[in-house]
Structure 1
Amino acid sequence: MKVRHVLLAGIAAASFATAFAGVASAQAADPQADPAAAPAAPAADVPQDDIVVTAVARGTNRLNTSITTSSITSDALIQLAPRTSGELLRNLPGIRVEASGGDGNANISVRGLPVASGGSKFLQLQEDGLPILEFGDITFGNADIFLRADFNVRTVESVRGGSASTFASNSPGGVINFLSKTGEQEGGAFQLSSGLDYREFRVDFDQGGKLSDSLTYHFGGFYRIGDGQRQVGYDGVKGGQFKANITKSFGDGGYVRLYGKYLDDRAIGYLPNPVQVTGSDSDPTYRNITNFSINNGTLHSGNIRTVQTLDGDNKLVTRSIADGQHPVVYSAGLETQIPVADGWNVVERFRYSDISGGFTAPFPAAVGSAQSIANGIGGAGAQLFYASGSQAGQRIANPASLNGNGLLANVVLFDVDLKSLNNITNDIRLNGSVPVGTGSLSITGGFYASRQDIKSDWLWTSFVQTVADNGRSELVNVRTAAGVPVTQNGVTGYSASFFGNCCRRSYDLDYTTYAPFAQLGLEIGRFNIDGSLRYDFGRARGSVAGADLGAGFGTGITTFDINGDGVISAPERQVAVIPNVRSPLNYNYDYLSYSGGANYRLTDTTAVFARYSRGGRANADRLLFGPSINTRTGGLTDQGAAVDFVRQLEGGFKYRQNGLSLYATGFWARTEEQNFEATTQRFFNREYEAKGVELEGRIARGPFSLSAGGTYTDAEITKDVLNPAVEGNRPRRQAKFIFQATPQVDVGRLTVGANVIGTTDSFAQDNNGLKMPGYTQVNAFVSVRPADNVTLSVNGNNLFDVKGITEAEEGNIPSNGIVRARSITGRTISAAVRVGF
């Protein structure tokens, strides 16, 4: 009941704000609606994109603060035309994004902080200042799955390190905030776009403006349909989003805003696929397998659309593989600012999100020659038959020539019913300033509260399929040498039979988070110093079920007549069920975060800064089914497992004048990490250290502009409790150097530009064996404005069709030379017609 009382108090405060704003008399400004109202740079105009509103007490000039921040404007978003949100985020310096999973399921990290499993554990994704999900790495529920960047976005702003530790919970590495348009700028746009060499059709629209002198509005969204970036033989992407807001402003600087969002979108989740690797671990060559392209292919197929299994209540159900990553979000929020005294105001943000959906995608547990795969299932001399597609029922007489590559894949279908990831969040703060001598002391105090549901059922199934791209893969049946069937419609077991029948699980959890926070900032002349504290305390409650919990928690395998023919086949003797014996979850945690920094304006255009921070991240569902939770009591076996800490030191130089800007930051970070990876069934208990330098710059001269950034990182595993052999190694998938650059020429009616993304090599796994080569991806865009408010554009993504391996399951080249890996998508070209009004 406590969390409800806290959140209801926030709602009450917001309601009071609405009533009070009309009569308040002090001066204040909405830092989102009017960034220029924030403190300005001395004797210089402050560009809108130089005002920081994310993970700070109030809107602040970038040159006046001791944090590192970057932004992407809505204009840049349209020009870059990223295929996914993850591809967009690669343009933020210091942010490492493995954007190879489609619309969601990207692994995102910052400044060498680890990605031991998946998602964005130490970095929070926000919309309009509140988290999309409280935890960015919920298993099969990564925060970016529930995010779509469209015409509603005004700015994407990132803060790396620094005050992210104290102005947001569970985000010590940083915050990326998608800020919405709110109607200050009149007008809108309508756009039709289509893939030229891939099948996807999309419509985008938005409109905003004034209803009166004090009332503004904005709404927009998109709808799309098609295969998606890779051909699959069915509508792999289908759905859209609608967002709207309305803002009432008051003459005293107060405002109140109501907003809502509806998202229902299906998008393929690309998981690792087979690729041929030759050479040595230290100097490998990655080549496409015959009839299967690693950067254009996927095991998704029009011949493999549904699967039968038991649901979370152990009842027969048919699941659609075509649903892929399927977020369904209904959210509503309120934001208000109330002037309460001269220079003081209350800012209240509240949002409730009803979130559900699913995650369904095939994961290859093993890939090998067709006969060896068959023999592993049906014994020596096993026979193969097509189980789906136009050849269903026919025998495969020559397995070595199957599909031109002679390969089969043992697939575990990651099939997760996300029943509820509902999130309710409230952030209320009071800020203002008082004079101190010749300067001023800014004061902020606030309270944050949230509740995050994690309710899901894991319904994995295993089957055998051919290795073919372009949506041509087919299911395959296996019979013994004597002709006895050992599969059913390609299914080897209605369970994760290739993973030892693990992982039939049910989660029914809720996590509450509370956090009072405060900041003091002293500004005297060109000198600014600030310090902030945040005290997070929370609780984890609920229960889980699954035979993986160990003895006493039920049996996970039974027999069940799946096809209803009255005969129990071999696969029907391997039907996974969720036991009705549940293990409780019941523990509390608390931790203190702090951050302090100093900034000095050397001149009106230059500044230097330094900052030290310690922030925490509460571990959530990834602790379960592991050694850190007592399965009988639900308590922690190790209190330290509840929270992982990140300690960071950073300092640097900032310069901006006359269209030229340069930002340089040196950083050091020490990170604790306890985690679980679903694909390998491994737990992690480690410490890491990373140090490096981050550079960002921009130059604009006449029609030409260039934005560029690069991050050098030297990272190391300094301690591993469970696997000391990897100590001293570089963390997997961590490159020494990542970079991005966007040159552009705008001559009025014509704009031409490129977007270059690159990385040096990294290791596939923590053993530092197999390397993943560095790569440079070149995107390009050209737009023509034949008439006012009409734009024709063509965008090319990965123009040179390079392979960009972002992860690999194997730590060394296996004997058959086949590695399971994810690559960035190959070349795709799209065209659009946009009409502004």
Structure 2
Amino acid sequence: MGNNKQMTRLMLSAAIAGILMSATAMAQDSTQDTSATNAPATARKSPQRKAADAKETTNLQQVVVTGSATGVKKIDASYTLTTATAEQIKLANPKSTADLLKIAPGLWPESTGGQTGANIEIAGFPGGGDAPYFSTQMMGSPLYGMPTLSFFETTSIFRLDDTVERVEILQGGPSVVFGDGQIGATANFILKQGTEVPSGSIGVTYGSENLKRVDGFFGFPVAENWYGSVGGFYRDSDGVRDPQFPADKGGQFTATLTHDSDRGTMMLYARALNDKNQFITPIPLIQNGTDNFSAYPGFDPLKDTYNSKYIQHVFLAGYPGGGTNADLANGRGAKMNFFGGNFDYDLGNGWTISDKFLIDAGDVDTNALFSGSNPATLNDELYNTPSSQGGFGLPAGSATATYAGPGGGGAVDPNQSVIHQGWWYIHKHLKNINNDFRLSKEIFEGNTLTAGVYLAHYTMDDKWALGNQMLMTNTPNARPIMVSYNDGGTTKQLTDNQGFLDNGGYNITERGVATNKAFYLSDSWRIGQWLFDASARLENQDASNTVCNLTNVDLDGNPLTLYNNGVPVCNGTFARTNYDKTHTSWTVGANYQLADNMSVYVRGNKGVHFGDFDNAIRGFTTGNTAPLQKIQNIEAGFKYQSELVYADISVYHKQFNGLTYQPTDGAGKPVGTAQLYGSDSKGINLSGTLTPVENLKLSLVANYLDGHYTHNSSCFIFTNVVTGETGCAPINGKQLQRQPKVRYMFTPSYRIPFAWGDVTAFVTYTHVGPHTQDQSGLQQLGTYHTYDFGVIANIEQNWQVRLQGTNITNELGLTESNSRIFGTAVSGGVILARPLEGREINFQVKYLF
């Protein structure tokens, strides 16, 4: 098995390197004229030429394809839209695909959990976990039929590399009608394609976290009017939080084939992703007051993790089907294959057609620790801590505790700080196919009507092993502990020989099948300086979810092995829930172009969020599923650009209803009765750049949010597994969870031209304002700020060197606390939380041809 993995890694690296070396030779041997004057008007341009053209085009004149029927200039787009080129993506210093979303005002990805599995918050959208109101698209096609599932959000199956030409990030507005009808935000990644002249790049990166990475891209002509491209990356990294095994390991390969004709374009693309990523669980910190945090003794909050070689390999006896081996190094990774295509054609007489399709399938597994109770000394955990706070309540002095796992043996000091955490494994196999067909007709000059049909069919096959509480040292790179005790002369095993206190609390199989069918109409009408648009979408989601029923079983028939005496396992029967909902969404917008470089707009829209397999379907019965979540949004904006100033400002008022609160226990199992509530939010988004002198730019991305919960005059019942507290927390008027009231990024940059090229240096200051953990507002997470930097040198025509770093001042800031609990997460002054990673610096050398 290990040899196969090594061979795969070598083949991928060799393929990338071999293709790129061949591409370099082809580029050098090419005798084609590369001058713009000799190239046909319809010829595809090299990336270098595209960059030169971009300098002659203002941001507001860029044509964007996301959120419109046929494409629209940015100055005419009557909605909040952020775009970034390949170079601008790199300048943002994104730690992951999700982390890139920070360039859009109002979007706040929590990147403290690792490369994948991010929580993505959108200002005014009451989320709090995963990414229910965010969709990832590639070439305009959604990557999966639902934006999120338990242990899955769509950025987890997309990696940034040099095959990406640009990204368009749309918030609200017409996104409720097009694509998958996302009411929140959509990031559409546009791939690089082949060029008339062979061109590309190869780059090598080394990072302070022992990152080793190779990136490459090559675009080339195949035949007359046919173009191809290949590219991808491979990397291996210990991570800033070193788990004693590779934190991030894997790669991605992408290929495209494009055909141009006088009347249209056809483009096919394929992508293979195989990447393993450490999922980072919260670590202990000291909380002083309501929102002041400091290091916990023995833990560096900037670089430590519980993950270790000692707890890396386990056997999970409660996993459906008789148990399974699991490996923490597999993390929250993805092994996915994609195949898609876009076709655009002019039929003449004002008729055009457009079709986009995507087929993808693969595994998106999770191997990770999930927080349990707060730490305590071994002696207290065994004898003194109440069971409501995770204690065991054994007879005084009765226990024997020794180290388990690799290098095990030896007694554990009774004063050793310990903790028990869930070692969860979720196998998730996904399949997806979707198609978006559009037919447009110019009814009369300035007016275009578009009719479209969106179809998606997708499945989910899961096996879960949740719970699996492992007793371990409360130390970086933790070691597992096994415990037995004497009860009246009888020896009982509290844990197994791996340190597990149980063999799972929620061991299920789950299969979801769904089909979405949508029909939409969109009309765009230009009258002088005005551009009006109106669109409506009628969509049906027909889904079913089948979950095995559980029966508690003594796995080994031995009452003295306490860890497996009552393990819930599938009993051969199933609960099936059918979910069939239909709803209409609409949007209306008006844009007025005050001048060639200035416009104002207003827009209103209403949209709907259908339930996913795990939220609103699993745990409910047919006919009694959670209601549709609905939003209404009114926004207005102003766009302006001159040589001195670029400004894109919007204001909004968003109202939600149909939100559901479902209490869960420490294993993530639904308990109690769900409650409904809503929210009301007002805010401002701003993107701007000031260029006071040549080569100096001062850029700002900022948002202000006044959002709170509504429509629930009662309170949310909860049991806090950390403090043992039970209560009922009112939520009306409380700040939206995990969403800062204020967030901004300020980036001054300066470009210094030289005879041999140029050097650009920048620093980004980010401020994140007050934010809270959950709807109760009982756990404050404070404020923080960070500094990132970059220095990029372009040398002659072919070389680029860049040095970039994040959190260079080692700021301690929190994005979330223990998400398994409701209410305060502090016990004895200690909180489990996810802090920012410490300083990370990367150096890259790239050759462009």
Which range, TM-score by smaller chain? 0.7 to 0.9
Do the aligned residues in 2 keep the contact of 1:108 with 1:123 (CA within 8 Å)? yes
Post-superposition offset of 1:213: 4.5
Hey, what's the Cα distance between the residues in 1 that align with 2:472 and 2:191?
44
Q: What is the match of residue 608 of structure 2? A: 616
Post-superposition offset of 1:574: 4.3
Post-superposition offset of 1:45: 5.1
The C-alpha deviation readout for 1:318-367, integer Å capped at 9, x for no partner, is 11121101211111112111211233211111111012131111012112
2:744 paired with 1:739: yes
1:388/1:32 Cα in 2 relative to 1: closer, same or farther (>3 Å)? farther
The C-alpha deviation readout for 1:540-591, integer Å capped at 9, x for no partner, is 12411143xxxxxxx1443238xxxx99733232444222110112231100
Gaps in structure 2 of 5+ consecutive residues: 1-40, 384-390, 717-728
**Which of residues 481, 488, 500 in structure 2 aligns to 1:492?**
500
Hey, what's the Cα distance between the residues in 2 that align with 1:298 and 1:32?
47
Post-superposition offset of 1:722: 6.3
Amino acid across the alignment from 2:464: W
Hey, what's the Cα distance between the residues in 2 that align with 1:142 and 1:382?
46
The C-alpha deviation readout for 1:99-119, integer Å capped at 9, x for no partner, is 211111111132220114x22
2:269 paired with 1:259: yes
1:269/1:112 Cα in 2 relative to 1: closer, same or farther (>3 Å)? same
Hey, what's the Cα distance between the residues in 1 that align with 2:46 and 2:703?
32
Hey, what's the Cα distance between the residues in 2 that align with 1:624 and 1:59?
35
* 3-state DSSP of counterpart to 1:602: strand
1:450/1:625 Cα in 2 relative to 1: closer, same or farther (>3 Å)? closer
**Which of residues 801, 821, 832 in structure 2 aligns to 1:820?**
832
Hey, what's the Cα distance between the residues in 1 that align with 2:617 and 2:267?
42
**Which of residues 633, 637, 640 in structure 1 aligns to 2:624?**
637
Amino acid across the alignment from 1:381: G
- Counterpart mapping for 1:329-728 below 5 A: 329-370=336-377, 371-375=379-383, 376-377=391-392, 379=394, 380-381=396-397, 383=399, 385-388=401-404, 392-397=408-413, 399-400=414-415, 402=416, 407-418=417-428, 420-436=429-445, 440-460=446-466, 461-469=468-476, 472-480=477-485, 484-496=492-504, 501=505, 503-547=506-550, 555-560=551-556, 569-623=561-615, 629-630=620-621, 635-637=622-624, 641-658=626-643, 660-672=645-657, 673-674=659-660, 681=669, 683=674, 685-700=676-691, 701-720=693-712, 723=716, 725-728=730-733
Do the aligned residues in 2 keep the contact of 1:385 with 1:393 (CA within 8 Å)? no
The C-alpha deviation readout for 1:123-146, integer Å capped at 9, x for no partner, is 211111111122222001111211
Hey, what's the Cα distance between the residues in 2 that align with 1:667 and 1:29?
41
Q: What is the match of residue 550 of structure 1? A: none
Post-superposition offset of 1:604: 1.5
1:494/1:378 Cα in 2 relative to 1: closer, same or farther (>3 Å)? same
Do the aligned residues in 1 keep the contact of 2:817 with 2:825 (CA within 8 Å)? no
Post-superposition offset of 1:771: 1.4
1:32/1:591 Cα in 2 relative to 1: closer, same or farther (>3 Å)? farther
The C-alpha deviation readout for 1:616-667, integer Å capped at 9, x for no partner, is 111012346766x22xxxx1215xx252111100001111223631011110
* 3-state DSSP of counterpart to 1:365: coil
Q: CA RMSD in A?
A: 2.8
Amino acid across the alignment from 1:347: S
Do the aligned residues in 2 keep the contact of 1:90 with 1:757 (CA within 8 Å)? no
2:259 paired with 1:248: yes
Q: What is the match of residue 215 of structure 2? A: 204
Do the aligned residues in 2 keep the contact of 1:504 with 1:578 (CA within 8 Å)? yes
Hey, what's the Cα distance between the residues in 2 that align with 1:651 and 1:295?
41
Amino acid across the alignment from 1:449: L
Post-superposition offset of 1:531: 0.4
Do the aligned residues in 1 keep the contact of 2:44 with 2:194 (CA within 8 Å)? no
Do the aligned residues in 2 keep the contact of 1:494 with 1:576 (CA within 8 Å)? no
Hey, what's the Cα distance between the residues in 2 that align with 1:301 and 1:391?
12
1:110/1:364 Cα in 2 relative to 1: closer, same or farther (>3 Å)? closer
2:316 paired with 1:309: yes
Hey, what's the Cα distance between the residues in 2 that align with 1:762 and 1:138?
24
Hey, what's the Cα distance between the residues in 1 that align with 2:750 and 2:130?
36
* 3-state DSSP of counterpart to 2:329: helix
529-538 vs 287-296, which deviates more? 287-296
Q: What is the match of residue 321 of structure 1? A: 328
Post-superposition offset of 1:478: 2.0
Post-superposition offset of 1:229: 2.6
Do the aligned residues in 1 keep the contact of 2:786 with 2:807 (CA within 8 Å)? yes
Do the aligned residues in 1 keep the contact of 2:545 with 2:617 (CA within 8 Å)? no
2:225 paired with 1:214: yes
Post-superposition offset of 1:538: 2.0
TM-score, structure 1 as length reference = 0.86
1:429/1:626 Cα in 2 relative to 1: closer, same or farther (>3 Å)? closer
The C-alpha deviation readout for 1:399-449, integer Å capped at 9, x for no partner, is 32x3xxxx211111221011x21110000001232325xxx1111110000
* 3-state DSSP of counterpart to 2:87: helix
**Which of residues 92, 97, 107 in structure 1 aligns to 2:104?**
92
2:288 paired with 1:278: yes
1:579/1:741 Cα in 2 relative to 1: closer, same or farther (>3 Å)? farther
Do the aligned residues in 2 keep the contact of 1:377 with 1:478 (CA within 8 Å)? no
Do the aligned residues in 2 keep the contact of 1:431 with 1:442 (CA within 8 Å)? yes
Do the aligned residues in 1 keep the contact of 2:318 with 2:503 (CA within 8 Å)? no
- Counterpart mapping for 1:113-152 below 5 A: 113-116=125-128, 118-152=129-163
The C-alpha deviation readout for 1:156-207, integer Å capped at 9, x for no partner, is 11111100111133411121111111124852111111222x1221111111
Amino acid across the alignment from 1:783: I
Amino acid across the alignment from 1:210: P
Hey, what's the Cα distance between the residues in 2 that align with 1:758 and 1:685?
33
* 3-state DSSP of counterpart to 1:571: helix
Do the aligned residues in 1 keep the contact of 2:493 with 2:563 (CA within 8 Å)? no
* 3-state DSSP of counterpart to 2:275: strand
Post-superposition offset of 1:81: 3.5
Gaps in structure 1 of 5+ consecutive residues: 1-27, 548-554
Post-superposition offset of 1:485: 3.5
Q: What is the match of residue 23 of structure 2? A: none
Amino acid across the alignment from 2:569: V
TM-score, structure 2 as length reference = 0.85
Do the aligned residues in 2 keep the contact of 1:493 with 1:575 (CA within 8 Å)? no
Do the aligned residues in 2 keep the contact of 1:422 with 1:452 (CA within 8 Å)? yes
Amino acid across the alignment from 1:220: G
Do the aligned residues in 1 keep the contact of 2:59 with 2:74 (CA within 8 Å)? no
